[in-house]
Chains A and B, each alone.
Chain A
């Protein structure tokens, strides 16, 4: 099932992939497993969307990669190191190399934009410096630069609870970028945003993925958005990987396989998108 995507102008990297997930299983208390033996791998700088009905296990999958949730069995390896075997200290080091973006932005709303963005540096700091919130001049300079790249310079010292949803998500992206990550995990980044803000966020993500060679794993609700921006799409249904391929390989039959009964409206949506 592993198809390798090739894009003109992008060198195919040799050697091991950036992230390898094999036979990942997560079982909450009782009942059906949330993840049921998922395997895939991701290369440097690749933009991968994960689609599937709600409750399919997309969120759990993302969180098992950086061990925000402990998997029941299976293996995740990042840059060749097995994530499951890391001790606390090395787990923090791993997390500092992987950014994360959330549906509800997860900012400290009472703090300013720049303070929230600087939180991206905490993983690289000693306990004391982290607790005291002491940042170097260089870190502050980087933060303002990233904020400027996201078009938020005017809001540098504004409290985050005064920002719009789209602006908050851009703060979330800036925080992830300041980690200088190899990969960013995005959990439904546009599910709470209006269409304009959604397009802006997706374009920013695409741009950083290409310019900085950051791999992205994006959980998405909207099939058309996934098709438009991704290099590759993973389809998840009931904890199993049922599709792994390029956007153009995603036929209506495949979609109905991923979404089951929900699929009809989604195929219609997809048709419209291709028509336009």
Chain B
């Protein structure tokens, strides 16, 4: 066993090298960023103190003279409505794009084009889509829904296409052999067998769209609780009202998250 006294050299493994380089690069970038970014010459200690004091008011004394609890609730329901419309429109369009994007249902060139289109749509931030459509439709709910729908389409197309691809090729083959055409296969085999996945993915997107709808209310003048948040903090500087709104959003978001976690569990379980 003398030959083994010498430990053979360790070959470099690509994945390890890549992870190390990446983490090193990110650490370097972060240090560079924190050192060079212009943070606007604010007094950090004072700002932190102020923020803590603000947070205390926001979270310990929610309330407000302008906005009652009930009207805040009404505004949240409007936000939920925006999220629902966005998800529905996005889902319907994504259903067709998903069929075109699934590799077991469509020819390769079509899937490539669909997936590239979807990636392009996703690369534009939601707020920019909304503002672009606001030029034609005016700032408000209509532009917000149309703009947000674009992102939902891109997210759901990818999710739906993957769900369709899970369907066994042999099932499609069997139906083809029996003389069924493409549409018959889609409606009799593909959609029924992946329906519960589709529903779960759609619900996950609904949760995301709720947060988006709040953001569009604040940044693009869509109605709903986001706009109230923007007014309370940006115009009236009313911290107690900000607190009330934050609590209500938090309650709804957590409820949606709990439901979405169950939906996700279903996807994983079946997958």
Contacts and interface: CB of A to CB of B under 8 A. Distances in A.
A148 B1 contact: yes
B5 interface: yes
Nearest to A159: B13
B11 A145 contact: no
A145 B4 contact: yes
B120 interface: no
Contacts of B5: 141
Contacts of A153: 4
B1 A145 contact: yes
B4 A148 contact: yes
A156 B7 CA distance: 10
A157 B11 contact: yes
Contacts of B7: 140-141, 144
A144 B4 CA distance: 7
Nearest to B3: A148
Residue of B5, B7, B10 with highest tally of chain A CB at under 10 A: B7
Interface in A149-207: 153, 156-157, 159
B271 interface: no
A157 B8 CA distance: 9
B94 to A, nearest CB: 35
B interface: dominant SS = loop
A156 B11 CA distance: 10
Nearest to B5: A141
Q: Give the bracket for the number of chain A residues in contact with chain B.
A: 10 to 19
A198 B270 CA distance: 34
Interface in B80-114: none
A145 B7 CA distance: 9
A144 B5 CA distance: 8
Q: Give the bracket for the number of chain B residues in contact with chain A.
A: under 10
Nearest to B11: A157
A148 B4 CA distance: 8
A159 B15 CA distance: 11
Contacts of A159: 13
A145 B8 CA distance: 12
Nearest to B10: A157
Interface string A38-80: 0000000000000000000000000000000000000000000
A112 B4 CA distance: 18
Contacts of A112: 13
A144 to B, nearest CB: 5
Contacts of B10: 157
Contacts of A144: 4, 7-8
Interface in B1-35: 1, 4-5, 7-8, 10-11, 13
Contacts of A156: 8
A156 B10 CA distance: 9
A141 B8 CA distance: 10
Contacts of B11: 157
Contacts of B1: 145, 148
A141 B4 CA distance: 8
Nearest to B9: A157
A142 to B, nearest CB: 10
Contacts of B4: 141, 144-145, 148, 153
Nearest to B8: A156
A147 to B, nearest CB: 9
Interface string A111-142: 01000000000000000000000000000110
A144 B7 CA distance: 7
B163 to A, nearest CB: 28
Nearest to A153: B4
B258 to A, nearest CB: 28
B14 to A, nearest CB: 12
Contacts of B13: 112, 157, 159
Contacts of A145: 1, 4
Interface in B124-150: none
A226 to B, nearest CB: 32
Contacts of A140: 7
Interface string B210-246: 0000000000000000000000000000000000000
19 contacts: A112-B13, A140-B7, A141-B4, A141-B5, A141-B7, A144-B4, A144-B7, A144-B8, A145-B1, A145-B4, A148-B1, A148-B4, A153-B4, A156-B8, A157-B8, A157-B10, A157-B11, A157-B13, A159-B13
Given A141-B4, A157-B8, 5 more contacts: A141-B5, A141-B7, A144-B7, A148-B1, A157-B11
Interface of A: 112, 140-141, 144-145, 148, 153, 156-157, 159
Please give me the 4 A-B residue pairs with the lowest Cβ-Cβ distance, nearest first: A148-B4, A144-B7, A144-B4, A140-B7
